[in-house]
Amino acid sequence: MSGRMMKYPYTLTAKIGMFPFKHHMSKSWIYKYYAVGVLTTFPIFVWLNDKINSPGNIKKYEDQMAKEAALLHEH
């Protein structure tokens, strides 16, 4: 490689590499709020995931699905 800058970044990797992330993070409010939003909601989603995928809840769901399947084939 010659180490020169490309006139136009044709590949996706080159486009990502040439994107001015520092400028956008310092000048645009949406990137800052996106980062804050992800960091603040992450614990909530982890808590919900633990509650939804608990062994007791999975057993309850399987029982409900078995009951519905039995009712379907009962006619």
Residues 21, 28 contacting (CB under 8 angstroms): no
* Amino acid symbol at 65: M
> 3-state SS of the chain: helix, strand, coil percent to 5?
75, 0, 25
For the chain, the maximum distance between any two Cα atoms, rounded to a whole number of angstroms, is: 75
Per residue in 19-35, pLDDT (tens digit) is 898 998 889 999 889 98
**Across 46-54, average pLDDT:** 95
pLDDT above 70 coverage of the chain, percent: 96
